[in-house]
Amino acid sequence: MVGQGAGSSITSIPGIDTALFALVIVIMIIYEPRGIYGIWIKIRTWFQMFPLYRKGLFRRSKTYLKTERMR
């Protein structure tokens, strides 16, 4: 018989599956706030604009107040 592997040892700890799922959700929110739909938009836009696609197209832009622009 083959050993049980890592899968059964991980699931034997109570609550670890929920913690891992929560960790995946938090990482997804940090790196892609729009979620899976945001990833889909990036992929679709890349294919639509293929030869002209710019790397920084979806980078968040910083907004300034009018008084901060003059500094």
Is the CB of residue 4 less than 8 Å from the CB of residue 11? no
- Look up the pTM and report it: 0.44
C-alpha span between 40 and 48 (Å, rounded): 12
C-alpha span between 53 and 41 (Å, rounded): 13
Quickly state the pLDDT bin for 1 (edges 50, 70, 90).
very low
User: Based on the number of CB atoms within 10 Å of its own CB, is 52 exposed (0-12), middle (13-18) or buried (19 or more)?
Assistant: exposed
Domain edges within the chain: 6-69
What pLDDT does 69 receive? 60
Residue 31 pLDDT > 70, yes or no? Answer: yes
